[in-house]
């Protein structure tokens, strides 16, 4: 990031922004009973709801001693003969879901917080999937859905959860479905290497940021063919050294979280392009919202995708530095 920036035209910037996905994500559906034992919930027959597929963020231009691994503790569980919701660890900022029945139908999970509703895809099997409680304290509803036809889904299992986090960082330190560093051994090892000997949070951020923008290139072919439901696989991105903006942001988030740095994977709009970036927390500055980069003197907004593809040109960096160009939609 200390390179001499080349000047790109405003026209080139506009072209880069418009190359991203500008689709609109539809909002999609958690309060808690005070239970200390297993809660058995039978399948509830409700009217079909219509759920839209998640849009993939594509825009190509504009200290913890050990990993905090999520666990399905089994203390507070809602279940029936099809699915299970483990909400034992809401204070740590997450819930876990698995669909235990055999099915070929599409499955979705909604995590509806106090202000935002998140929709995820899941697959059947014995593996638990982790979902963050990104809205902070308050009442959530977690719902498992099964596809009936087209975009129609029926409720399989639902649980209300009352959440009081241990601290505001809880949802943004642990692995989840979108930032799965628990299964990314090479990514965690590289992050440890990059941050070795660094004690200041922003020094760690600088090391990871520099590595990502200098070594990862934008995958235009993937951007043109990616389907709804795409999930970043961090070790694959690291090995291939290429990805879409979702991959850039997820890789940086996973690296930083694995080294104890609270980090949000942010999804929203850069101009009209659907995009992903990061927000980090430091002891000195608190949450550095939007995205940050170091200009050699101070910390400004950072967008790892735009910075990498724009070769840190002055025009791109001015765009990144203007917070009005970014609209937050989801935090993961």
Helix (H, G, I), strand (E, B) or coil at 277: strand
Cα dihedral 326, 331, 217, 295 sign: positive
Domains present along the chain, CATH in parentheses: 10-21+175-331 (3.10.620.30), 39-55+70-172 (2.60.40.10)
- The per-residue pLDDT for range 85-98, each reduced to its tens digit, is 999 999 999 999 99
Long-range contacts of 296-303 (CB under 8 A, 24+ apart): 296/1, 296/2, 299/202, 301/326, 302/209, 302/277, 302/278, 303/62, 303/270, 303/277
Which helix (H) or strand (E) covers residue 186, if one does? helix 185-195
Cα dihedral 145, 53, 233, 165 sign: negative
- The per-residue pLDDT for range 227-272, each reduced to its tens digit, is 888 999 999 999 999 999 899 899 999 999 999 999 999 998 877 7
Lowest pLDDT segment from 170-179, 181-190, 198-207, 323-332: 323-332
CA 2 to the chain's CA centroid = 28
Residue 231 burial (10 A CB sphere; 0-12, 13-18, 19+): middle
pLDDT value of position 302? 54
- The per-residue pLDDT for range 100-147, each reduced to its tens digit, is 999 999 999 999 999 999 999 999 999 999 999 999 999 999 999 999
pLDDT value of position 154? 97
Helix (H, G, I), strand (E, B) or coil at 317: helix
Cα 83 to Cα 4, 113, 126, 278, 301: the distances in Å are 55, 21, 10, 32, 42
pLDDT value of position 107? 97
Helix (H, G, I), strand (E, B) or coil at 166: coil
Q: At 39, is the pLDDT very low, low, confident or very high (cuts 50, 70, 90)?
A: very low
Closest of 10, 8, 27, 69 to residue 271, by C-alpha:
10
pLDDT value of position 28? 37
Cα 153 to Cα 99, 165, 186: the distances in Å are 15, 31, 38
The top-scoring range by mean pLDDT among 35-39, 195-199, 324-328 is 195-199
Lowest pLDDT segment from 8-12, 168-172, 208-212: 8-12
Residue 2, both tokens: 């200390």
pLDDT value of position 315? 61
> What whole-number distance in Å separates Cα of residue 212 and Cα of residue 277?
12
pLDDT value of position 306? 57
- The per-residue pLDDT for range 275-325, each reduced to its tens digit, is 888 888 888 778 876 545 554 444 454 555 655 554 555 665 555 556 667
Mean model confidence pLDDT for the chain: 80
Find all residues with CB under 8 Å of 5, minimum gap 6, and list them.
Answer: 311, 312, 313, 314, 317
pLDDT value of position 105? 96
Q: What share of the chain is helix, strand, coil (3-state, %, to 5)?
A: 25, 30, 45
Percent of the chain with pLDDT over 90: 53
Beta strands 77-79 and 152-163, pairing class: unpaired
pLDDT value of position 203? 87
pLDDT value of position 77? 98
């Amino acid at each position: 990031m200390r390179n001499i920036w080349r000047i790109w035209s405003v026209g080139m910037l506009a072209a880069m922004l418009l190359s991203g996905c500008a689709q609109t994500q539809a909002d999609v559906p958690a309060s808690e009973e005070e239970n200390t034992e297993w809660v058995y919930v039978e399948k509830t027959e409700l009217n079909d709801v219509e759920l839209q597929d998640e849009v993939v963020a594509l825009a190509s231009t504009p200290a913890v001693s050990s990993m905090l691994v999520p666990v399905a503790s089994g203390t507070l569980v809602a279940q029936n003969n099809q699915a299970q919701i483990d909400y034992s660890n809401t204070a740590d900022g997450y819930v876990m879901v698995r669909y235990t029945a055999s099915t070929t139908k599409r499955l979705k999970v909604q995590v509806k917080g106090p202000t935002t509703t998140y929709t995820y895809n899941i697959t059947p099997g014995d593996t638990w999937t982790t979902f963050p409680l990104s809205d902070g304290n308050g009442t959530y509803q977690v719902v498992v859905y099964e596809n009936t036809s087209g975009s129609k889904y029926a409720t399989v299992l639902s649980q209300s959860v009352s959440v009081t986090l241990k601290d505001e960082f809880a949802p943004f330190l642990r692995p989840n479905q979108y930032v799965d560093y628990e299964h990314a051994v090479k990514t965690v090892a590289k992050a440890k290497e990059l941050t070795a000997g660094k004690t200041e949070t922003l020094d760690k951020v600088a090391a990871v940021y520099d590595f990502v923008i200098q070594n990862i290139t934008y995958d235009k072919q993937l951007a043109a063919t990616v389907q709804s439901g795409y999930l970043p696989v961090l070790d694959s991105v690291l090995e291939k050294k290429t990805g879409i903006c979702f991959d850039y942001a997820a890789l940086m988030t996973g690296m930083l979280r694995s080294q104890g740095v609270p980090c949000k994977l942010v999804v929203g709009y850069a101009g009209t392009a659907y995009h992903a970036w990061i927000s980090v927390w430091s002891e000195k500055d608190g949450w550095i919202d939007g995205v940050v980069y170091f200009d050699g003197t101070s910390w400004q907004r950072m967008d790892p995708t735009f910075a990498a593809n724009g070769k840190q040109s002055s025009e791109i960096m001015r765009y990144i530095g203007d917070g009005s160009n970014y609209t937050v939609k989801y935090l993961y």
